[in-house]
Structure 1
Amino acid sequence: KDYALYFQLGLLFLVFSYPAKVSLDFALNPTIAKIPQADINQYINGWSAGWGIKRSTEFFKNISKNNEIFVATQGTFGLLPHGLEIYLQKYPKVHIKGYWPIGDYLPEEVLDKAKKMPTYFVYYQPNNSKVLNYSSLSLEFKERMGRSNYFFSVYKVNAK
């Protein structure tokens, strides 16, 4: 009888140990968690995971202490611009506006704002090679999205 109990306990341990380890890895170090690829893309390596939001909000808070600033984002709903708006709503000197789609040229409104106040453009879409063609942008910082080769990037828009 004791062997049956030990067998049942051992079986329960085996059944629950792997899910417990995966859950613990996901909670403590999500970039190494063994979860389905679709979840890795959404929660860890993709733009929707939120990489760069904390750093960029701190950056914009500091810059807006003395000046009004304009922040343009790649996207008009979701993480950008709403992620920034949530964290920066108590900072009236920060003006945020989303743009989509981003074409071969920066929106005229963004270039006009750059003539009046410090202006920044936030990109999160992977492999947006068009940004490399914008001579009016200079990289402030970028943050890797999880373990991917994609980056959340903040650029300063230089007035021309």
Structure 2
Amino acid sequence: EGQLLFDGVDIKTLNPVWVRRQIAVVSQRPRIFHTSLLDNLRYGCELDPTEEEVQEACKASRLYEVIFHNPVRFPLGIHTRVSNETLSGGELQRVAVARALLQDSPILILDEATSALDLRSEQLVHTALEEVLSSKSCTCLVITHRLSALRWMDRIA
């Protein structure tokens, strides 16, 4: 038994579709669709983000450097067609982080969200997330084995 409250309201009384829209999730093994990177980034957003918003999310997730400094792999930039097979695990995680930032949900769940990144990239992504999330009213639930991923958390349980 027990209750899960969302802003003081029992979640069982809320519309499940509405509840799901309030939560953005970045999992350890994110999946993307075989379509353009831009379409993958916009997936799940209620409103289509502008190209500027997409670029900002890509910069925060450190995906921007991967895309725009690699014209051989991404000849059309964010319009390049991608799939789960064409991106590395770390790149997939960066796409998922950028997508979650674009969804702009009040709850963000990071489930081993940077486990496929090297230590330096992970630190850069965490610093960027801290900067982005500190300017928003957002609850961030982080599931991780790495203590370094928790340095910017308010509470640890």
TM-score (norm 1): 0.27
Structure showing greater relative contact order (alpha-carbon pairs closer than 8 Å, 6 or more residues apart)? 2
Q: Which structure's CA Rg is the greater one?
A: 1
TM-score (normalised: structure 2):
0.27
